[in-house]
Structure 1
Amino acid sequence: MKHRYLPMTEQDRSEMLAEIGIQSVEELFADIPEAVRYKGRLPMSEALDEYALLRHMKQLADKNADFDSHTSFLGAGLYDHHVPVVINHVISRSEFYTAYTPYQPEISQGELQAIFEFQSYICELTGMKVANASMYDGATALSEAAVLASGAAKRKKIVVSSAVHPEARQVVKTTAAGLGLEIAEVGSSDGVTDLALLAQAIDGETAAVLVQYPNFFGCIENLAAIEQLTHDAKALLVVSANPLALGVLETPGKLGADIVVGDAQPLGISASLGGPTCGYFAVAEHLMRRIPGRIVGQTVDRSGKRGFVLTLQAREQHIRREKATSNICSNQALLALCASVYLSVMGKEGLREVGGLNIRKSHYAASRLGAIPGAKVAFSSPFFNEFVLKLPEGSDPGAVNAKLLGKGFLGGYDLGKDYPELSGHMLIAVTEKRSKSEIDEFASVLEGCL
């Protein structure tokens, strides 16, 4: 009998049941009480042929509100940036999308070189000396930075700005709970970390100060002032930075950061319904042997030819197990490749140009939306491509966003979900993809919805 797909025949089923010593599949669920079991048949159609199935799945997919069907002004950590078509062409090559950790360098030179290029780009963007092969995402990178800082400083207190992404702060708190770290949150003023409150929170037990640049509200933190307060207490400064913004902002490394982390999603990685993305992690040279994850190094073979290898592996879990500096033992190589291709295609001037477009378009949008009767831009601090809009008194951002969705727009993030004091405020993101006509139309539609 010819099968189009690999089936599970009745003989296969019988042999597996016999091997584990039961008579039927139902016996596997014997521990689940009858009262909570689903009875009857799930509401599914009969089997469909290939064409009918594809049509059905497309109809389901078309119900999604995505970046193709709607104009997005939603950011809050995941952005609608342009993804050059060359990226998907490169990452679709089987040598890359089937690759795993390259333990055998002699047959993995292409993969290792791609990772090495990513590390080199991250070091140049951040102004740091050493970067790893990537992390799972920006939030886990930040939590790993807190762990590294605690170990390096031999202290247990981590001071975190409340202007750091709420989800990233939650990941940091979850990690801290397991390691017995103390988390102290510092409030903000005019959209940036309150320096007076920060000075009060930092003491002799502080291992690190965690800030975001630009922060969750889109505002640009005064890293020089924060660095002074942090290093006066002999703590480490950890900066979670938007890598695209680093094309136009001063690098955290030049401003005194000890660890710079972030999410590479703005660098040619599609939103993909919320992920996966790719975290990056860079440190000052003296922290090189504490950095989590993989590091690819450049060397020469016995003939003097350039080659690439995994280096400093004694730090890692697969060798040191419980003595490792981190339990991160993998990386997002394919998505790091997206970032590398993006940066190589854009170049320094291109990255600076895209960053400038984000600034100019978001500031134009702020002037248009801030002119809506009853609305205003909430903070006066400088911002990159996101800003907080205070809606007219009594407006519900959730209800407003529902109306916007019906008119073809993905509205801003409702800040009241995470900051009760910002109820009625919306976080608006404007990337290089937004045109003047789209911004003008959004302002007009938003005013109508209000």
Structure 2
Amino acid sequence: MPFIPHTEQDIRDMLETIGVSEIEQLFDEIPEDLRGQALTHVPQSMSEQAVSRLMAQRAAQDGQPLCFIGAGAYEHHIPAAVWEITTRGEFYSAYTPYQAEASQGTLQLIYEYQSMMTALMAMDASNASLYDGASGLAEAVLMAVRANRKSGSRRILMPVTVHPAYRQTAHTIVGNQQIELVDLPYDDVGGHTTVESLASYEGEDITALVIAQPNFFGVLEEVDALTDWAHANGALVIAVVNPIAMSLLKPPGQWGDKGADIVVGEGQPLGVPLSSGGPYFGFMCSKQQYVRQMPGRLVGRTVDRDGRVGYTLTLQAREQHIRRSKATSNICTNQGLMVTAATIHMALLGGEGLRRVALESHANTRKLVEKLSSDYFRPRFNRPCFHEAVMSSTLPLKRLLRPLYAHNLQPGYELSDDYPELGESLLICATETKTEQDLDLYRDHLARIIDKQVSAGCPVQPKMA
């Protein structure tokens, strides 16, 4: 049965009504060389049994390595109840809640999600999610340009310690909209953005300052001082945060004297598994005064004329609903299923549960750093970190990492491509899922490999102090 069950007569009647003889005429504006040809590389159809076997084989190719990578995607324990509930038909197949009277369950869940996120971030309002954390940063930049009407420069100060993929995505989306993303350097000793590095922008027209907490290196930033500097210089503050860290650290709404203005980040740590690269979802919160510049939609709670609680879409500044020139977003259904999982995850763990996850993750990373440290492998920065840390090696990293991969270990994220100035440096991460035995296994394998490389006369850079 065709996906669209139109009969041949239906199709002829429609074509005659619009005045064309065949469907191909509707696409005559597309040049011939850009049109898709036959799908020559698509294999022949397979039975359900054959497809199941093929997919199982491909999933097995990923293996189940012991992962210490992090770098924006984190392996946390997800209670079994999260996805048992999320994949119920009421949630799994529900679509955008256009009709409030028929979508009360979905609307209530989104409302609960928004309430939890505003509590976690100490902000006034939250939208109903974005595509991912990277595009969320780009949306925050666009929102800041709209919201900061006193600024005409459209200049955004962007620390290079913000996730490289986030910075690239933001540049791709806003780079052709007369918005300038200005790189801010980091302190070579601490790995953080210093207030002193902002001195050259004192008194200039700056639209917004981006602050990551923790930053890509896992280092904690001086958020109070940076936030107060931005507000004193007429700039808005865009916070890019890890939601798990916010259960333990000072939330963005309390940074400095006035708090951050816009908060974004990646929601994957909240109940979304590492499923071979996705999906993810982004979150966004803001102060009440900027809520009408927020992309996406907001759900509100009210009562009907009989006094019963009800939920409805209270803000949906999308071109589908208002004039295109007034729209701030094309975000619609996006990652609603991931938000469902995140809401259930946060409800099950509660504030104390999230805090325990953060504490255990931080403790494991500190243990891992201590276990791996030697004359040849040492922490790169000296400031406090959360849940991730940069380690520098006096030996070529590739010689150390290749045998670790062979031992079914994912030892971390190499920084040389994104930060060549750091040389042989590795970003490592340990969450609450790692046991003492896991940490010891990593330490023992690495120590043995280092001994072999040194004994074999591998070139060694000067030992670190």
* Residue matched to 1:374: 376
Secondary structure in structure 2 of the residue aligned to 1:403: helix
Deviation at 1:444, TM superposition (A): 1.3
Change (3 A) 1:218 1:314: closer
Secondary structure in structure 2 of the residue aligned to 1:253: helix
Counterpart CA distance in 2 for 1:374 and 1:105 is 61
Counterpart CA distance in 1 for 2:444 and 2:42 is 43
* Residue matched to 2:335: 332
Match of 1:105 among 100, 108, 123: 100
Change (3 A) 1:202 1:261: farther
Deviation at 1:60, TM superposition (A): 2.6
Counterpart CA distance in 2 for 1:133 and 1:202 is 36
Secondary structure in structure 2 of the residue aligned to 1:445: helix
* Residue matched to 1:182: 180
* Residue matched to 2:461: none
**Is the counterpart of residue 170 in structure 1 residue 173 in structure 2?**
no
* Residue matched to 1:25: none
TM-score normalised by the chain length of structure 2: 0.85
**Is the counterpart of residue 144 in structure 1 residue 145 in structure 2?**
no
Secondary structure in structure 2 of the residue aligned to 1:62: helix
The one-letter amino acid paired with 1:406 is A
Match of 1:158 among 131, 151, 156: 156
Deviation at 1:146, TM superposition (A): 0.9
Cα pair 1:236 1:257 within 8 Å, conserved? yes
Change (3 A) 1:182 1:43: closer
**Is the counterpart of residue 73 in structure 1 residue 71 in structure 2?**
no
Cα pair 1:292 1:316 within 8 Å, conserved? no
Change (3 A) 1:311 1:42: closer
Deviation at 1:330, TM superposition (A): 4.0
Deviation at 1:392, TM superposition (A): 2.1
Counterpart CA distance in 2 for 1:436 and 1:157 is 47
* Residue matched to 2:289: 286
Deviation at 1:104, TM superposition (A): 0.5
Deviation at 1:327, TM superposition (A): 3.5
Change (3 A) 1:50 1:100: closer
**Correspondence 1:53-64 to 2 at 5 A:** 53-64=51-62
Cα pair 1:161 1:187 within 8 Å, conserved? yes
* Residue matched to 2:192: 192
Change (3 A) 1:89 1:188: same
Deviation at 1:317, TM superposition (A): 5.1
Counterpart CA distance in 1 for 2:32 and 2:143 is 46
Counterpart CA distance in 2 for 1:406 and 1:313 is 50
**Correspondence 1:177-256 to 2 at 5 A:** 177-189=175-187, 190-201=190-201, 203-255=203-255, 256=259
Match of 1:87 among 82, 86, 110: 82
Deviation track 1:61-118 (CA, whole Å, cap 9, x = no partner) reads: 21113xxx21100110001111111111111111212222211000100000000001
Deviation track 1:20-77 (CA, whole Å, cap 9, x = no partner) reads: 579xxxxx997489xxx999x8696x76554344333322321113xxx211001100
Match of 1:391 among 367, 390, 393: 393
Change (3 A) 1:49 1:384: same
Secondary structure in structure 2 of the residue aligned to 1:428: strand
**Correspondence 1:406-421 to 2 at 5 A:** 406-421=406-421
Cα pair 1:219 1:383 within 8 Å, conserved? yes
**5+ long unaligned stretches in structure 1:** 23-27
Secondary structure in structure 2 of the residue aligned to 1:99: coil
Counterpart CA distance in 2 for 1:363 and 1:171 is 31
Change (3 A) 1:405 1:160: same
The one-letter amino acid paired with 2:422 is L
The one-letter amino acid paired with 2:368 is A
The one-letter amino acid paired with 1:375 is F
Tell me how large the CA RMSD over aligned residues is: 2.8
Deviation track 1:313-359 (CA, whole Å, cap 9, x = no partner) reads: 35665312122123334442110111111111001211111111011
The one-letter amino acid paired with 2:240 is S
Identity of aligned residues (%): 37
Change (3 A) 1:203 1:335: farther
Equivalent pairs counted in the alignment come to 426
The one-letter amino acid paired with 2:58 is L
Deviation at 1:211, TM superposition (A): 1.5
Secondary structure in structure 2 of the residue aligned to 1:382: coil
Counterpart CA distance in 1 for 2:291 and 2:311 is 18
The one-letter amino acid paired with 1:254 is Q
Counterpart CA distance in 2 for 1:202 and 1:409 is 47
